[in-house]
């Protein structure tokens, strides 16, 4: 059990959660967010929110995306910085989900946090064999506005295709299929595994076996959060 006495630092927790698609980031991140009263910064959600709000960074990102390009590392870091400065939920810390994906991004993130006189407390990677992810991914259901995830077999909603909390419809991502997963896993291993090595050198990285029931994964996470920095 995680409680206030085990939180890393007086101001909560600043962490990155890593893992291949289907490893359980969308399941565990909201629980971490609620436990530590911090913000959950998922890259896709941040981008969509900034574009909807029409912020300066959102306008820059929309221009790039409308042209079919990839949003630059600098835009993403500035978007994170903007959230840290304006989102009240980020006052006690944050959990970054989907960023950094490359070593260059990790370095830019470190530079931004250093300028704010902050640093990461933990980097957790949810580890699972690629072969086990197909069944997880192909049955995954998502509540778009909150990011809550379900699974048609392993963790179904109380009512078919309906979010338990809001009653709104659930969706399945168009790329949640076996063929697309192979491409996404190849990209993950090529780009993101070096990021794990980067954080290992800093002594921040911890691995968690994600091929366990959700409560067992949470227990492993709780033990990591209870470690002294």
Binding site residue list for AMP? 43, 48, 69-71, 98-101, 105, 173, 184
108, 140, 148, 206: which is the annotated catalytic residue? 140
Which residues lie below 8 Å from residue 12, measured CB to CB, with a gap of 6+?
Answer: 36, 37, 38, 92, 93
DSSP secondary structure, 84-100, as one string:
HHH-GGGGGEEEEES--
Is 101 labeled as catalytic in the residue annotation? yes
Is 108 labeled as catalytic in the residue annotation? no
CA distance 101 to 28: 19
CA distance 127 to 146: 24
Nearest to residue 36, comparing CAs of 53, 58, 14?
14
Write the Ramachandran bin of 97: left for phi over 0, alpha for psi from -120 to 50, otherwise beta.
Answer: beta
Is 31 labeled as catalytic in the residue annotation? no
CA distance 149 to 27: 6
63, 173, 182, 190: which is the annotated catalytic residue? 173
**Could you tell me which residues are annotated as the binding site for ATP?**
22-27, 140, 149-150, 212
The tokens for 136 are 């997880």
Is 158 labeled as catalytic in the residue annotation? no
Tell me the CA distances in angstroms from 104 to 87, 155, 207, one per residue in order. Answer: 25, 36, 21
25, 108, 122, 136: which is the annotated catalytic residue? 25
31, 62, 92, 101: which is the annotated catalytic residue? 101
Which residues lie below 8 Å from residue 95, measured CB to CB, with a gap of 6+?
Answer: 13, 15, 16, 17, 29, 32, 33, 38, 39, 40, 41
Is 117 labeled as catalytic in the residue annotation? no
Q: Give the catalytic positions in this structure.
A: 25, 101, 140, 173, 184
């Amino acid at each position: 059990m995680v409680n206030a006495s085990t939180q890393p630092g007086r101001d909560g927790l600043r962490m990155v959660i890593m893992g291949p698609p289907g490893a359980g980031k969308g399941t565990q991140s909201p629980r971490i967010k609620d436990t530590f009263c911090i913000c959950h910064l998922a890259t896709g959600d941040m981008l969509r929110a900034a574009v909807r709000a029409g912020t300066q960074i959102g306008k820059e990102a929309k221009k790039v995306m409308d042209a079919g390009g990839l949003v630059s590392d600098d835009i993403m870091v500035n978007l994170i910085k903007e959230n840290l400065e304006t989102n009240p939920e980020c006052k006690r810390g944050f959990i970054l989900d989907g960023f950094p994906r490359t070593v260059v991004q990790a370095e830019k993130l470190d530079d931004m946090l250093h300028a704010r006189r902050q640093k990461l407390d933990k980097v957790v990677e949810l580890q699972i064999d690629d072969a086990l992810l197909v069944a997880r991914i192909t049955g995954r259901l998502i509540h778009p506005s909150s990011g809550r995830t379900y699974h048609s077999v392993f963790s179904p909603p109380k009512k078919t295709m309906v979010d338990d909390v809001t009653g709104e419809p659930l969706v399945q991502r168009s790329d949640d299929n076996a063929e697309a997963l192979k491409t996404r896993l190849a990209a993950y291993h090529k780009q993101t595994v070096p990021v794990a090595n980067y954080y290992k050198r800093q002594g921040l990285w911890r691995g968690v076996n994600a091929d366990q029931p959700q409560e067992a994964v949470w227990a492993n996470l709780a033990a990591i959060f209870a470690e002294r920095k």
